Amino acid sequence: MHVLSDPIAQLLGPWAAEPGPWCAVFRVALAVLLAAVIGWERSSKRHSAGLRTFMLISLAGCAAALLDQSLLDANIPLLSAAAIIGMAILSCNSILFSSKNQIKGLTTSVGLWCCGIVGLALGAGLYTLALVLFFALLCSMSGLPALETHLKDRSNHFEVHLELKNKSDLPDFVSTVRALGIRIDDIESNPAYLNSGLSVFTVSFTVASAELKQYKKHGEIIEALKSLDYVYYIEEMN
């Protein structure tokens, strides 16, 4: 497969477009390097998949694309297709379900798959596409969480994990929340804590009070609810 139409390949010269030994080494090295940057960002935040996992996923994608060009008919990229399916399966294994009914690792899972696609693009010699995907992925995983947190904190709807000392305290909690100007949309008991001695619920709220909407963030509302004597623990769910 010739990729002289790729702007970066044109800039580097013919050697970067032809699947020769030095070209293969360059593509593999670049795939590992870019994946290492993404992996370091995940590792620094203590996520389930880190530096080595991202590097290996990208390496596998790059190798599959290179082998498709070297060993098989480029019009039938069997190894690349198999790599995409395999990366999707591996990525799904990084998704966890916590005892608080929360899904953990979804961003890391999608990031792993996207990182594998970056490796595939580099293996195919599509340097420009790979770099665009890399920077978009990096911005999405490291730059957007702060914006997402800000928007969530200003949303009228949020969900909390609630632990009460006694189940009989639930009506008092409901009355207090409604008095604050917050509507309860749903209350679901969490069976994972059945034998813990606590009454544990997942509660969905909607901020109905105009004053609360304007001045109070979710964290401030939750801090106020923490001060209730019968509340053992409460936190916002992601």
Integer CA distances (angstroms), 114 to 7, 23, 140, 160, in order: 22, 23, 11, 31
pLDDT (0 to 100) of residue 59: 93
- Helix, strand, coil percentages in the chain from 3-state DSSP, rounded to 5: 60, 15, 25
**Helices and strands: H and E segment counts in the chain:** 10, 6
Query: Please, which pLDDT band fits residue 1 given cuts at 50, 70 and 90?
Result: very low
Q: Is the pLDDT of residue 75 over 90?
A: no
pLDDT (0 to 100) of residue 29: 95
Most confident of 7-11, 26-30, 44-48: 26-30
Q: Indicate the range of 2-6, 114-118, 130-134 predicted with least confidence.
A: 2-6
CATH code reported for the domain at 157-236: 3.30.70.260
Domain ranges (residues) in the chain:
7-148, 157-236
Q: Strand (E) positions, the chain?
A: 96-97, 103-104, 157-164, 182-189, 199-207, 231-236
- Summary mean pLDDT of the chain: 81
When comparing pLDDT for 38 and 73, which is higher? 38
pLDDT (0 to 100) of residue 3: 44
pLDDT (0 to 100) of residue 103: 62
Mean pLDDT of 158-172: 87
pLDDT (0 to 100) of residue 166: 86
